[in-house]
Structure 1
């Protein structure tokens, strides 16, 4: 018999224009958008921002919950678990011992390995063995690889580590865009004691405004919310519209800098913490370097269609971006030049790409000069199996929460 946790949102849904207020967005007299994200106020020029939270042509539910089959959990516990994680993660676990947080594992050379969520966990004796413990959420295809890497570099650290089968614990995304996130209790309508009694862990997904909450439930449980269960593809569309990459295919493992994959602006790097693996290049890039490429939301459209002015999800287009091979080059349409970026993932007519900022946008960083001009168009071309050449145009959009450091 399945057990269930009841999570009820009582606030009525709001119109998209009202929902934008929840994202902390307002306009000042100089035509700038004042953005709040993770307690920071950031500026984005109206010339560069393209709202990715507009109402889509197809119904993306304003509230819902999705089981994330692409995520898996590891459990780590023991007297040296905290010290090991502090030296391996980009975020500061010592400042987050009582709440979950987003972070990353890097190589010794400072290249991105895994994006993870870390959850403090203190309910299941089968996991804990009487010691302080955490759950590590990672790409399901990389859970075993991450476990092997942790064990390989544990040295003399004393801790237990195991990969949890999906039947034991699963990851859910829960969102309601008409309910504002709270900092203290992400599921404020649920008694915290009841959550702990059911061995539940949860957190606000702070990577971008409107991402909702993450909820960990034993494999035989489902959340009950005032919304319908959605497929994981709905969760993917919500991520893509906000420019949030996730998993190995979208993050260019062992090659990209964490900043290129937005780990920094998604709150996954603490530049004030002490030494950790890969810190040297990460800190140097932050203080003296320039991030010339970043993951951005992309919209594909037909070669004979007009360039879109705002990002709109439309799965009824006569092509599906899932057929575009990963790392397909994004090239300028009218002028010769080097690749402007690489396609990473998509669904319907939207996706993500690693984009050269000065070529595809005018949202450059530090003292970089943008070569982008209004009307510049870009394309993707590929061969699918034995078919003829396929081509579409593609446009990059700058999310509202993206920090334009020139302002």
Structure 2
């Protein structure tokens, strides 16, 4: 047992005891990344609260089968001008044009900005910005939806690399446009009742990342009785963003750079290749394309972001994902905590983020699931029915067991025969 626990991330209290030694050793050098990690592990509760939007509020009692949630965790950037489409085509993983017609897209899509080495900088939605008066999009104006904590960084990134391209980029104020998410399980009238996607300053469309996840809405911040949000809220309960996070995790959908780690995550390990048409493997060159294409054609993707469930050491291994509010954010594992084997040695993944008993983790498929990745090392040990995995909590000596699940939409993609 001791050897297995030793492979896990140390609790914050232990890191706090080590932290003073960093400052008192005269002439001692430590790199910025290590210093940042030590501070993160030793961070006070105020830092941990910034990682979890629940903070000290009570967690939702249960998932909601329907709802409408504003997403303050998301911001919008406007990119408009004659060269806007050409610029975006060269820096995002998806195709800026409609693959079927070759013309401008009329609806939004999911994509990512990558580094030159193929790591994810930002996962984004890109929406054709509709012209005033409800006219169809012209193909030279777009809204980019991004993690709010990363919005200013992405704006500066676009400005820095636009070179002589003729377009303008502007971070929209939160009082101009707002991002929402709506869902209603078993109800088919939500989409049909909101088909006016060409309405001025209003965008409504299915979220393409996973079947049944819901609908994305971009609205002006009007509060009039005739506004689209007011109309939808007459039929759906208005809920906090925590309900949306629960729904995302149950569907196994990561979002933002607390879950798709900036400059670390690979797009295929983050499932961007399977979430809508987030990666177009046939489009022209874009930043980070070389490694992404090579990984795709070699078929070597041994890790994927998966939904996971925490449970007590004394409990039986769960057979399905169940959200329970019994674990507060202060007790959850610290970001990037290691997942180890129960009563065995070896690291099999790391924790990303969670709420209550559920969350997301980057998991080795051959260790934590029954999925066998292509081109896996000979002699790899597949997951056994009795295998269990452990992870340390933020409090000293605290430990959870953790179980990974493969959502149906992801499983069907992973089991498809490779294309030739």
Q: What is the TM-score when the length of structure 1 is the normalising length? A: 0.78
CA distance, structure 2, for counterparts of residue 296 and residue 66 of structure 1: 23
Change (3 A) 1:75 1:322: farther
Alignment partner, residue 20 of structure 1 = none
**Distance apart, 1:97 and its partner CA:** 2.0
1:184-221, Cα deviation, whole Å (9 max, x unpaired): xx8321352xx544410122101011111100011234
CA distance, structure 1, for counterparts of residue 96 and residue 381 of structure 2: 37
Alignment partner, residue 304 of structure 2 = 294
SS of the aligned residue for 1:274 comes to coil
CA distance, structure 2, for counterparts of residue 197 and residue 290 of structure 1: 44
**Distance apart, 1:122 and its partner CA:** 2.5
| Pairing 1:332–2:334 present | no
SS of the aligned residue for 2:90 comes to helix
Which structure shows the bigger proportion of residues in strand conformation?
1
1:375 pairs, out of 378, 386, 389, with 386
Alignment partner, residue 203 of structure 1 = 205
Alignment partner, residue 251 of structure 1 = 260
Unaligned runs of 5+ in 1: 1-56
SS of the aligned residue for 2:187 comes to coil
2:74 pairs, out of 48, 54, 71, with 71
For the Cα contact (< 8 Å) 2:372–2:382, is it kept in 1? no
For the Cα contact (< 8 Å) 1:87–1:276, is it kept in 2? yes
- Larger Rg over CA atoms: 2
Q: How do residues 62-141 of structure 1 correspond to structure 2 at under 5 angstroms?
A: 62-95=65-98, 97-123=105-131, 132-141=140-149
For the Cα contact (< 8 Å) 1:362–1:370, is it kept in 2? no
CA distance, structure 2, for counterparts of residue 265 and residue 106 of structure 1: 17
CA distance, structure 2, for counterparts of residue 363 and residue 381 of structure 1: 25
**Distance apart, 1:306 and its partner CA:** 1.0
CA distance, structure 1, for counterparts of residue 356 and residue 174 of structure 2: 28
Change (3 A) 1:227 1:124: same
CA distance, structure 2, for counterparts of residue 297 and residue 136 of structure 1: 26
Alignment partner, residue 279 of structure 2 = 269
Cα RMSD (Å)? 2.1
1:362 pairs, out of 365, 370, 376, with 370
For the Cα contact (< 8 Å) 1:297–1:397, is it kept in 2? yes
Alignment partner, residue 191 of structure 2 = 187
State how many pairs are aligned.
336
1:230-250, Cα deviation, whole Å (9 max, x unpaired): 110000000001110000010
CA distance, structure 1, for counterparts of residue 139 and residue 343 of structure 2: 61
| Pairing 1:307–2:317 present | yes
CA distance, structure 2, for counterparts of residue 364 and residue 219 of structure 1: 47
Unaligned runs of 5+ in 2: 1-59, 99-103, 224-228
Change (3 A) 1:283 1:322: farther
**Distance apart, 1:66 and its partner CA:** 0.5
For the Cα contact (< 8 Å) 2:94–2:111, is it kept in 1? yes
Alignment partner, residue 399 of structure 1 = 407
CA distance, structure 2, for counterparts of residue 318 and residue 191 of structure 1: 40
CA distance, structure 1, for counterparts of residue 365 and residue 72 of structure 2: 32
